[in-house]
Amino acid sequence: MEELILKIENLKTYLKTPRGVVRAVDGVDLTIHREETLGLVGESGCGKSMTALSILKLYPKPQGEIVAGHIYFDGQDLVERSEEEMYHIRGSKISMIFQEPMTSLDPVFPVGEGIIEVLTLHQKIDRQEAYQMAIELLHKVKIPEPERRMKYYPHQLSGGMRQRVMIAQALACKPLLLIADEPTTALDVTIQAQILTLINELKREMKTAVLFITHDLGVVAETCQRVAVMYAGKIVESASVEALFEKPLHPYTQALLTSIPRMDTPKKRLQPIPGTVPDLIQPPPGCRFHPRCPVRFAPCDQEEPLLKIQEGGHLVACHRY
């Protein structure tokens, strides 16, 4: 078995809102191996972004709080770490890229400054060295004329270029884990293809593990080795990409795969999933998918199914297995 870089155990992150407590992450178990890309898929509001923000302890404060669980990263439990200690981990050992690079790059600084800042903050190098390294990084993310672009402000770059800058900034300190939260959702497909290829190449070169968060099953199939499916604050299934697409076990995963239109194999009619995503303030009892599940039976609305291991390391949380 390969070495684990991240192991999340029974993580619970709750958010207090005026309407009540949102159980955004409610008992998540997740593992990522070294140099692996894990896809975390789910619909909006299923808690996938909140899981990622919990790893870096960047969830909204003071509304948000990790109420239970452990996040073991490189041998230490991040839940126990102080804000001061997290400060040194963020950006150097774990870094993150977001969906909208316009709002995550500081508009009043040239893009080169951001990269130099990350480098000088976490490594013992002077500004001159950092400047050279930043140019090299921009070159690595295939930004043409990197010397010139160093001085550009974020608004002077296109969406795709901004995302490249974000990637350069995130990978500047060769992190062990890169968290990519819907990094291509705001981009056009032709640009998305460029960025996905780039992330894959750099990840291989830098030996970084990637937690790839997306709602797009197509993107998962093309970029990840393993995949975890999240529904209403819980992981319902996790497996290798091949196994999951070949033989999805959880009814939610199955339904998701039959409900999306596919470009390669057209269908006459889509099979939609009835109902809507549950409210995480008062999630349904038992299995959270049971009100929408076509194959529910007796225990589903009472007992909560646990993740159980199946053939080939395939994990699924469903009473049918």
DSSP H helical ranges for the chain:
48-55, 83-89, 101-104, 111-122, 127-140, 146-149, 159-171, 189-206, 217-223, 241-246, 251-259
Among positions 219, 239, 249, 318, the unique one binding other proteins when judged by CB under 8 A: 219
Find out whether 21 and 65 touch, Cβ atoms under 8 Å: no
Question: Is residue 232 within the footprint of other proteins (CB under 8 A)?
Answer: no
Q: How far is the CB of 193 from other proteins (least distance, A)?
A: 4
Among positions 12, 215, 247, 320, the unique one binding other proteins when judged by CB under 8 A: 215
Question: Is residue 256 within the footprint of other proteins (CB under 8 A)?
Answer: yes
Find out whether 24 and 15 touch, Cβ atoms under 8 Å: yes
Candidates 11-19, 48-56, 59-67, 146-154 — which segment interacts with other proteins by CB under 8 A?
Answer: 11-19
Question: Is residue 128 within the footprint of other proteins (CB under 8 A)?
Answer: no
Closest CA to 8 of 182, 230, 224: 230
Amino acid present at 41: V
Question: Is residue 259 within the footprint of other proteins (CB under 8 A)?
Answer: yes
Among positions 9, 43, 65, 74, the unique one binding other proteins when judged by CB under 8 A: 43
Task: Write down the residue that tokens 């909006």 correspond to.
Answer: 44
Question: Is residue 229 within the footprint of other proteins (CB under 8 A)?
Answer: no
Interface of this chain with other proteins, residues 129 to 188, rule: CB under 8 A: 144, 158-161, 188
| β-bridge partners, 70 | 9
CB atoms within 10 A of CB 277: 15
Q: How far is the CB of 226 from other proteins (least distance, A)?
A: 11
d(CA 101, CA 87): 21
Binding site for other proteins (CB under 8 A): 17-19, 43-44, 144, 158-161, 188-194, 196-197, 215-223, 241-242, 245-246, 255-257, 259-264, 266-267, 269-274, 276-277
